[in-house]
Amino acid sequence: MKRKLSLIVLLLLSVVFTGCDMVSVVGANPSYRVGGIVTNDKGEPLPFVTIKINPGGETQTDEEGKWEFTKAKKGSVVTAELPGWRFTPQTRQVDSEHPTANFFGAPLAQTFDVSGIVLDTNGQRAPAVVIVAELVENRSISMHAMTNENGEWYFTGLAGEWEFIPLNDGRFDSFQPSSHLADSARNNLDFQAIPSPAGPGAAEPYMVEGYVLDEDGYGIVGAMVAALVDALEPLAMTWSGPGGYFSLDGLEGEVFVYVSKPGYDSFDPMAIAVSRPASLVFMGFQEDYDVSGSVTDVEGDPIPNVVITFTKDGKQVATAVTGPDGSFTYSGLKGEYEVTAQRAGWLFHPDPMTVTGSNSEVNFFGTPVLETYSASGRIHDTWGYGIEAVTVVLTLHDMGGVTLVTTTNGNGEWSFSGLRGKVTVEPQGPHSFNPAVQQIEGPMTNLNFTAF
């Protein structure tokens, strides 16, 4: 059972390390907006790289190495081309759930390939061992490979100095050496896998660590991770933190590690049996849910053509557009999203809203963004003398009826700036005024009243 569960973990790792982002989809358009960035081994952008999307078309990276294409089809294959350069990976497949295709480029004269074999202490070849390659100068750039049935692994098209690290999945106690460094072609980067001692468990306490991820490769925070003895008795428990990372220390003997969190239907694998230090990965699955709502102005009238944006972990995932009745819907969401509304010339509230599936109705109200202006005037008696300390009330009708108040100075003068849209001006006090109220929609400097 331990071998079967360990193989499941390795297969899961091969999926997780591939990594993916998501795409913006407007309405029911069968085409997808895809994009990415192309950099060299120093993380510097590569401009003017031809990006080919098949089927779909082609585009080029800009000066920041970024590219975008709005008419990709489901399953389109993306390649990067620039004379004299080689790109890794060679191809990327994109669709609505995997819209980001990033490439790493290096001059052909500087690229190299590496390979190696993983053997156990009996000289037997070890399959399904994950090898992680990290660029030494920038550890955020990494790739992975898995040994085949003959224990062989390889990477191609590398540039710069890389470190190659075998991952311990619990089948082995350690690897010798623990890693290899290479900055040129090598075909002998071999590892020896040291098996765990026979018996149900280790004599000394040990620790396991790993990640809890969602289907898109994002870390799940707050998942309960427990180690059970014989799948019944709890031995240790923790919760996943930032990035989905967790660790369980002080374990003894063989235990079953499993994960759970409200809102997630299942995790793959359901449980992993370990008896030695190990790196584990669990993937959580959530049910899809739909979000719907409407966008109206302060008077309840619908606002069409408002772009509703769904953002997850700081990345735009999808968009929808309100129809003539101001309503919108979007299906197939999983997890927690921030939702915002945008249309030129409008401000929307609230901004943003958060949805998790349990609150799938999202309504916004908007107010037009109007240019501000100033108004001023004077309040005087029938003889023309200014009257001091008269209250002047300004009502901003296009801003939801907000009222502003000022008073006249010793000469009966008043002024107010920052006004928007339709505004009524009304002096108040023990006097009668002529006119009683005046209405403006733009700058005015002689908005005068006579007091009786």
Shared-domain flag, residues 104 and 152: no
Shared-domain flag, residues 99 and 124: no
Q: Give the pLDDT confidence of 327-355 residue by residue, as tens digits.
A: 998 888 877 888 999 987 788 888 788 88
Residue 288 CA from chain centroid, whole number = 17
Shared-domain flag, residues 134 and 103: no
Q: Answer whether residue 13 is part of any domain.
A: no
Write out the two tokens for 62: 């800009």
223-256 CB burial, b ≥16 within 10 A, e <16: bebbbbeeeeeebbeeebeeebebebeebbbbbb
Shared-domain flag, residues 304 and 317: yes
What percentage of the chain reaches a pLDDT higher than 70? 88
Which pLDDT band holds residue 30 (cuts at 50, 70, 90)?
Answer: low
Least confident range from 79-83, 151-155, 211-215, 355-359: namely 355-359
Contact in structure between 153 and 127 (CB atoms under 8 Å) = no
Shared-domain flag, residues 90 and 154: no
Provide the total of helices (H) and of strands (E) in the chain, helices listed first.
1, 40
**pLDDT (0 to 100) of residue 272:** 86
Shared-domain flag, residues 231 and 255: yes
Which pLDDT band holds residue 25 (cuts at 50, 70, 90)?
Answer: very low
Shared-domain flag, residues 102 and 117: no
Shared-domain flag, residues 78 and 123: no
Q: Answer whether residue 9 is part of any domain.
A: no
Q: Give the pLDDT confidence of 354-378 residue by residue, as tens digits.
A: 887 656 788 998 887 777 899 999 9
d(CA 330, CA 320): 7
d(CA 132, CA 17): 9
Mean pLDDT across 15-38: 54
Q: Answer whether residue 21 is part of any domain.
A: no
Q: What is the CATH number of the domain that holds 130?
A: 2.60.40.10
Contact in structure between 96 and 74 (CB atoms under 8 Å) = yes
Shared-domain flag, residues 211 and 280: yes
Contact in structure between 207 and 277 (CB atoms under 8 Å) = yes
**pLDDT (0 to 100) of residue 46:** 92
**pLDDT (0 to 100) of residue 16:** 36
**pLDDT (0 to 100) of residue 200:** 43
Q: Answer whether residue 8 is part of any domain.
A: no
Q: Answer whether residue 19 is part of any domain.
A: no
Shared-domain flag, residues 73 and 122: no
Q: In the chain, how many domains are there?
A: 5
Three-state DSSP at 96 gives coil
What is the extent of the structural domain holding 411?
373-451
Q: Answer whether residue 24 is part of any domain.
A: no
315-349 CB burial, b ≥16 within 10 A, e <16: ebbbbbebeeebbbebeebbbebbbbbebeebebe
Contact in structure between 267 and 285 (CB atoms under 8 Å) = yes
Cα 247-253-256 angle, rounded to 5 deg: 55
**Is the pLDDT score of 400 beyond 50?**
yes
Domain termination site, one of 368, 398, 426: 368
H-helix segments, 2-146: 2-16
- Amino acid found at 169: D
What percentage of the chain reaches a pLDDT higher than 90? 33
Shared-domain flag, residues 344 and 397: no
Which pLDDT band holds residue 201 (cuts at 50, 70, 90)?
Answer: very low
Domain termination site, one of 108, 138, 156: 108
- What is this structure's pTM? 0.35
Q: What is the CATH number of the domain that holds 418?
A: 2.60.40.1120
Beta bridge partners of 434: 450
- Amino acid found at 42: K
d(CA 107, CA 159): 8
Mean pLDDT across 122-130: 84
Domain termination site, one of 248, 268, 285: 285
Q: Answer whether residue 93 is part of any domain.
A: yes
Residue found under tokens 């390939």: 113
- Amino acid found at 356: T
Contact in structure between 92 and 34 (CB atoms under 8 Å) = no
Q: Give the pLDDT confidence of 158-167 residue by residue, as tens digits.
A: 888 899 999 8
Q: Answer whether residue 88 is part of any domain.
A: yes
Average pLDDT, the chain: 83
Which helix (H) or strand (E) segment holds residue 146: the answer is strand 142-146
Shared-domain flag, residues 276 and 310: no
